[in-house]
């Protein structure tokens, strides 16, 4: 194709009507859309995975409100760049223009001092800040700045959104229309995208460009073969960011320390943030190992604390030690599954009343109407065994926790069966 501009950029929408997805934020009647239509928007943080339209949405908002739009990337910008934009914004105030929008991509990569340099301008309304992050802003954005911003969560594109995007690309893009592209199978395109619209369009363009013929038929096997030939390295700011961390965690889950250390090395050599890796280890220690080895969570937490104060290159040793330990630990997702089941139960049954006997009764009136009546204080019974029902009547007897098949949780299973008999009959 003669046009060197990437397909994702050529198709970048510039109006709300052309924007695909995130209807919970910008659909008719939504809170953010109402703010924008009234011409009053707060500083905000867009939090979501890559390729869901954070940058595009910021552009559309600025265009809609006819405000000057400045953009910085936290990877290659510093305090000097921020101050220059703030000074420009101050000078424009004398000419009666609307305060500009400053969009900062990957704001979680800004240091504390860099984030501090934004505070005054945001608080005084000199600029409207829109930050974009793939990381939880509660951990990565300083509290003073976070308190001055609304946080909006952007979701992965749905299958329907992605299929619509492919259809739009084939029908409207000038370059793609030069070839007769027929997609016989969509599964590989969708799977490789991982809900990332930019990655989907990049993949589609790579596949189409690999053909010299005018007529092109795209199948799942063709997509996989072509893409594998084009993926050559890890890029922390690019498409493989989440693929590599996924391979890393799945290697730990599968108890393969060799693979875990390999993928860890790929991330380290690619310049990945040590705290990003350590956070994933923390999640894995609970989700994949859990009570099969409770010490795993302690070690993973210590790892996170250590790399937060040490940094590279020494952090690689701590990360490696933790990854190897987790990979060699017995595995259980019982607690993870239990909370999933419990949340589904809550969603399906609603706010069931707390049984009277286990309600708090701090006042005489509450005691008189039965709060706490009949409660058995466990420590008053042999073996702390004041057996009673703790679930609401409507769901009593429901089993949510299923102990895993490992030595530690086998002891849990025996304890529960001895205490509850039939109620916990696994």
User: What pLDDT, in 10s, does the model give residues 106-118?
Assistant: 898 888 888 988 9
**206/239 Cα distance (integer angstroms):** 13
Where would I find the H helices in 285-400? 295-310, 315-328, 334-349, 364-368
Residue 166 banded pLDDT, cuts 50, 70, 90: very high
**61/103 Cα distance (integer angstroms):** 11
Q: 25 vs 239, which has greater pLDDT?
A: 25
Distances (CA, A) of 362 to 291, 315, 404: 35, 50, 39
Average pLDDT over residues 321-346: 92
* Mean pLDDT, all residues of the chain: 86
Average pLDDT over residues 351-371: 82
Asked if residue 344 has pLDDT above 60, the reply is yes
pTM: 0.58
* Phi-psi sector, 311: left (phi>0), alpha (psi -120 to 50), beta: left
Average pLDDT over residues 409-426: 79
Average pLDDT over residues 331-340: 91
What is 159-230's CATH number, 1.10.3720.10, 1.10.8.60, 3.40.50.11900, 3.40.50.720? Answer: 1.10.8.60
Q: What is the pLDDT of residue 232?
A: 42
Average pLDDT over residues 62-90: 86
- Least confident window among 92-101, 260-269, 382-391: 92-101
Burial 10-38 (b: 16+ CB within 10 A, else e): bbbeeebeebbbbeebbeeeeebbeebee
Q: What is the pLDDT of residue 234?
A: 46
Distances (CA, A) of 397 to 143, 155, 377: 43, 36, 21
- Residue 73 and residue 108 in contact, taking contact as beta carbons nearer than 8 Å: no
CATH 3.40.50.300 correct for 22-153: yes
Q: What is the pLDDT of residue 356?
A: 85
Asked if residue 13 has pLDDT above 80, the reply is yes
- Residue 317 and residue 302 in contact, taking contact as beta carbons nearer than 8 Å: no
Domains of the chain, residue spans? 22-153, 159-230, 241-328, 348-424
Average pLDDT over residues 193-214: 86
Residue 151 banded pLDDT, cuts 50, 70, 90: very high
DSSP state of 154: P
Distances (CA, A) of 161 to 57, 156, 243: 16, 10, 21
Asked if residue 375 has pLDDT above 50, the reply is yes
Architecture of domain 241-328: Up-down Bundle (1.20)
Residue 94 banded pLDDT, cuts 50, 70, 90: low
159-230 matches 22-153 in CATH topology: no
């Amino acid at each position: 194709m003669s046009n060197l501009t990437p397909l994702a950029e050529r198709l970048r929408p510039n109006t709300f009507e052309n924007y695909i997805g995130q209807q919970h934020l910008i659909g008719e009647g939504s809170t953010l859309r109402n703010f924008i239509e009234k011409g009053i928007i707060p500083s905000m943080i867009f939090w979501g995975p890559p390729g869901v339209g954070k940058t595009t949405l910021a552009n559309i908002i600025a265009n809609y409100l006819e405000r000057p739009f400045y953009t910085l990337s936290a990877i290659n910008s510093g305090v000097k760049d921020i101050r220059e934009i703030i000074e420009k914004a101050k000078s424009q105030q004398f000419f009666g223009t609307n305060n500009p929008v400053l969009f900062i991509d990957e704001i979680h990569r800004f240091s504390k001092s860099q984030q501090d340099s934004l505070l005054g301008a945001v608080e005084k309304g000199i600029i409207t800040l829109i930050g974009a992050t793939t990381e939880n802003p509660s951990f990565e954005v300083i509290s003073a700045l976070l308190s001055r911003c609304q946080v909006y969560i952007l979701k992965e594109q749905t299958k329907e959104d992605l299929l619509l995007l492919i259809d739009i690309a084939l029908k409207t893009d000038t370059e793609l229309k030069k070839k007769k592209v027929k997609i016989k199978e969509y599964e590989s395109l969708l799977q490789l995208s991982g809900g990332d619209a930019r990655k989907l369009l990049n993949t589609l363009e790579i596949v189409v460009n690999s053909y010299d013929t005018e007529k092109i038929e795209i199948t799942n096997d063709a997509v996989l073969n072509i893409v594998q030939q084009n993926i050559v390295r890890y890029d922390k700011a690019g498409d493989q960011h989440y693929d590599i961390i996924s391979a890393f965690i799945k290697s730990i889950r599968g108890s393969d320390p060799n693979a875990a250390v390999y993928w860890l090395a790929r991330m380290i050599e690619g310049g990945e943030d040590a705290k990003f890796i350590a956070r994933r280890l923390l999640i894995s220690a609970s989700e994949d190992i859990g009570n099969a080895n409770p010490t795993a969570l302690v070690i993973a937490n210590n790892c996170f604390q250590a790399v937060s104060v040490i940094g590279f290159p020494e952090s690689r040793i701590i990360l490696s030690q933790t990854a190897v330990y987790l990979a060699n630990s017995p595995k259980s997702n019982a607690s993870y599954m239990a909370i999933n089941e419990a949340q589904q139960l809550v969603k399906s049954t609603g706010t069931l009343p707390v049984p009277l006997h286990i309600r708090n009764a701090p006042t005489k009136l509450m005691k008189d109407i039965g709060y706490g009546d009949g409660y058995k204080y466990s420590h008053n019974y042999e073996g702390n065994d004041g057996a009673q029902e703790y679930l609401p009547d409507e769901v009593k007897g429901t089993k949510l926790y299923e102990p895993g098949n490992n030595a530690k949780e086998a002891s849990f299973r025996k304890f529960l069966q001895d205490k509850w008999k039939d109620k916990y009959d696994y």
